[in-house]
Structure 1
């Protein structure tokens, strides 16, 4: 026997458990976005996080939408999947998040090379503008692109009325 009574050994065991619980660690997750050239405005899941290189903490793993914008370059929207590491598997994650006495860092980096925006020469743009002007003078209508088409009218059912400012039709009881 070590000379300590059972009461002292129990106290030491309780003390060790308390110290482990108090000094429990956590998992720090961070996503960094770097661009070439640096200085692009970075958004992750439609939240601006700053100019590249930019970093933000995250809680959940999964697919993130990363958008980078900079004058003179094409705007890029990337969908990047962040897979959980082995210590975030169910069951093991409890140990990593609460019982492991040290901090665990999970840092992910997304690198992207920005493509310079190609602008058309001024004479090509001026020629297109002249063509559109001449078409409008002669009465030729230029069709709108499909995304800019106004919505088609839907006939209202009988005994209905519309709400002001294009609201949803409501049935009127007779």
Structure 2
């Protein structure tokens, strides 16, 4: 009976310690702002919503960003999210596993959209005539 009681107590203490040790976690967030706000934001071909849009992520590296809004040029670009020194081994292990505190790494990208320029009707007709003449 005593041996079983010790085993249960040991197991309970071990579970409590593991819960404390494994309770730490790193949360990574990326916020994408646009000027003007309200543009549709896509990250790696996945829509994440109107700007400002915040998304959680697990991996650093290259991201494909596409931003569109009526009346503005669609912006398509790549951005690199570089891993900070404190998020490299072995520090990331201590922060993510051994720390009992939640760590939040936040990043912010801001993009300015250019107004869509409507072509002049006469210029458009002249360009079309030049193309037609070249094809003859």
TM normalised by structure 1 equals 0.63
1:80 Cα shift? 1.5
Unaligned runs of 5+ in 2: 1-8
Q: Distance in 2 between matches of 1:18 and 1:37?
A: 51
2:135 to 115, 121, 141: 141
Q: Distance in 2 between matches of 1:19 and 1:92?
A: 24
CA 126–21 in structure 1, closer or farther in 2 if over 3 Å, else same: same
Q: Distance in 1 between matches of 2:66 and 2:111?
A: 10
Is 1:43–2:42 an aligned residue pair?
yes
Q: Distance in 2 between matches of 1:45 and 1:113?
A: 19
- Please tell me whether the aligned partners of residues 33 and 109 of structure 1 are also in contact (alpha carbons under 8 angstroms): yes
Aligned residues: 126
Is 1:101–2:100 an aligned residue pair?
yes
- Normalized per residue, the structure richer in helix is 2
Superposed CA RMSD in Å reads 2.5
| Alignment correspondent of 1:119 | 118
Choose between structure 1 and 2 for higher RCO, CA contacts under 8 A separated by at least 6 residues. Answer: 2
1:121 Cα shift? 1.1
1:24-35 equivalent positions in 2, closer than 5 A: 24-35=23-34
CA 48–59 in structure 1, closer or farther in 2 if over 3 Å, else same: same
